[in-house]
Amino acid sequence: MTVFSRATRLMLVCWGLLLTLIVPLSTAAQPLTPDQAHDDLLYLRRQLRAYHPGLGHYTPEQRMEQVFDSLYNRVDAPIDYLPFFRHLSPYLNALKDGHTNLNHRKGFINRYTRYVPFYIRQVDGDYFISHNASEDSTLRRGTQLVSIDGQTVADIHQALLEGDRSGSDGDNVSGRQQWSLTQFADYYACWFGSRDSITVQYRPARADGTVDAVLHEKRLACPTVARFREKLWQRYPTDFGPKSESRQPNLGLRIVDSLSGTAVLRVSSFSNPRGFDPFGWGFRKRLKRAFRQVKEAGIDNLIVDMQDNGGGAVINSARLLQFWMPAPFRIMAREEMKLAARPQLITRWNPLSVLDFKLRYKKDGRGGFISRMANRQYRPIGRLAFRGNLYLLMNGSSFSAATSVLAKTLDAGKGTFVGEACGGAYWGDFAGQFNYITLPHSRIQVRVPLKKLTHAVDADHANGFTVEPDFTVTRSYTDLLTNRNFALDYALKLIRQQVTAVRIGDGGNVQ
């Protein structure tokens, strides 16, 4: 029998551990065979049929089958991971559901991933650098970005917003346009992969506030996420420092004009504050504190800023509405799900979850379930109710629970809406709770909503498929150069001019 020294045994153990790490990674990096790709596609279709409550809502199921057959038949040779990820996108996108997300396998995006080193914003169809995280500081804010690695930024943007429908319901494009630009670097890395460096063509920003007509070209290194953030904080302390607007706490209130009695309430999310808060008591406490300040300061004009609010807990959206709705109200008229969703809401470690499910849901007579509590009413908070002029700021990234607030406010004939169309649908959405599935071979992950949530709103009060602004505001080049909250500035202008939207009865807009 061979006897190894302690050092040799330790080395063999280390090599064994290393091999267990390397082998799965190298296997995952191998191209998928046609059979494996077909298995993943079939598995995805089965899961959508079993769980998704919106299958056939926006796109007829026959059309979904045509898309599936086309994608299935086109895989006739081995296919690499990233092309297969992009190959799946049209099938999920055909659902036109902003809550259904296609995500990479675990570890594909990590701390070593390198990103396009810019924040990019659009002005009149052109694309400009708003924040530069590269080592080259000569690319100033306002520089027009024309192309990346030989592909125009316009074409890249189109590919990104068509490749991922997150944040936009139906044929509405406002959410996709917004998210694919505000998170351009993330979207680019997910769609095209990590890049060590890129070649950019650009037109420099001049000191006089114009753009040079001459096209320049430069090769730039791409930073990791840690370096990206570090550079932004160093270079733009006004925009990202502790006192910047972007760092203001959720539900923070600012009195911006005491003379006219104007305040801004920033509602960046309907998720609970940091820390353990299972019942949302922390959110409710901070909300009451804000409206107590509104009351004590005698605020006549309240601007509720829900730009880039991607949603959260529906109950928290109801808690906000309680401060200005004129009468008791419901958020949802109906909440329904398929039969397969039941096991996802019942946990083995919690025997009370079975009882809880029976108390909350009942069979709908069609093989699924509906909520017993969807018609729950919320009472306005009379003591701290706001009865002044209400302005709501929104953009394409105002989605999910934020859309619920906008839809209910419009339905009640309240508020003046400023900014851009929100990302969600006026009627409701597919959300509530989710099932996260992993495809067996590629390990690609898909988030599938389990519930169809129908808003308790009157269809006749809608001003479009989504909630449209009374006053549409878009970014100007000056807004870009100053990093100005242009929707807020416009709302303040309306307040100075004492302008509000006029409603015909409940809903319906007249400017």
Q: Which domain holds residue 195?
A: 118-237
- The pLDDT assigned to 200 comes to 98
Sign of the Cα pseudo-torsion (420, 415, 168, 117, in order): positive
Record the tokens describing residue 426, joined without a space. Answer: 């006026």
Record the tokens describing residue 425, joined without a space. Answer: 């649908």
CB neighbours of residue 500 within 10 Å:
16
> What CATH number has the domain bearing residue 257?
3.90.226.10
At residue 308's C-alpha, the angle toward residues 279 and 391, to 5°, is 90
- The pLDDT assigned to 481 comes to 95
Same domain, 301 and 168: no
Q: Could you tell me if residue 412 is inside a domain? A: yes
Record the tokens describing residue 254, joined without a space. Answer: 């600012």
- Kindly list the distances between the CA atom of residue 175 and the CA atoms of 18, 183, 303, 403, 438, in Å, as whole numbers in the listed order: 44, 12, 22, 11, 26
Q: Could you tell me if residue 446 is inside a domain? A: no
Q: How far apart are CA 214 and CA 193, in angstroms?
A: 30
CB neighbours of residue 262 within 10 Å:
23
Q: How many domains does the chain have?
A: 3
* Residues in the chain, pLDDT under 50: 1-28, 506, 508, 510-511
Same domain, 74 and 128: no
Residue 479 · residue 487 · CB < 8 Å = no
- The pLDDT assigned to 3 comes to 34
Q: How far apart are CA 473 and CA 486, in angstroms?
A: 7
| Ramachandran angles phi, psi of 220, nearest 5° | -125, 140
Q: How far is CA 132 from the centre of its chain?
A: 23
Q: Could you tell me if residue 65 is inside a domain? A: yes
Residue 255 · residue 290 · CB < 8 Å = no
- The pLDDT assigned to 16 comes to 40
Same domain, 154 and 223: yes
pTM: 0.90
Q: DSSP readout, 177-210?
A: HHHHHHTHHHHHHHHH---SEEEEEEEPBPTTS-
Q: How far apart are CA 376 and CA 388, in angstroms?
A: 27
Record the tokens describing residue 261, joined without a space. Answer: 């009695």
- Kindly list the distances between the CA atom of residue 187 and the CA atoms of 162, 194, 321, in Å, as whole numbers in the listed order: 11, 11, 33
Same domain, 87 and 29: yes
> What CATH number has the domain bearing residue 232?
2.30.42.10
- The pLDDT assigned to 354 comes to 87
CA-based nearest residue to 428, from 406, 408, 455: 455
Residue 102 · residue 441 · CB < 8 Å = no
- Kindly list the distances between the CA atom of residue 104 and the CA atoms of 432, 437, 464, 501, in Å, as whole numbers in the listed order: 22, 12, 34, 44
Phi-psi map region of 313: left, alpha, beta (phi>0 left; psi -120 to 50 alpha): beta
Q: Could you tell me if residue 414 is inside a domain? A: yes
- The pLDDT assigned to 23 comes to 36
- The pLDDT assigned to 355 comes to 86
- 283: Cα within 13 Å, side-chain hemisphere: 22
Q: Could you tell me if residue 338 is inside a domain? A: no
Q: How far apart are CA 477 and CA 2, in angstroms?
A: 76
Q: Could you tell me if residue 211 is inside a domain? A: yes
Counted residue by residue, the chain has a size of 511
Q: Could you tell me if residue 478 is inside a domain? A: yes
CA-based nearest residue to 468, from 269, 172, 85: 172
101, 127, 151: which is the final residue of a domain?
101
101: helix, strand or coil = strand
Same domain, 206 and 298: no
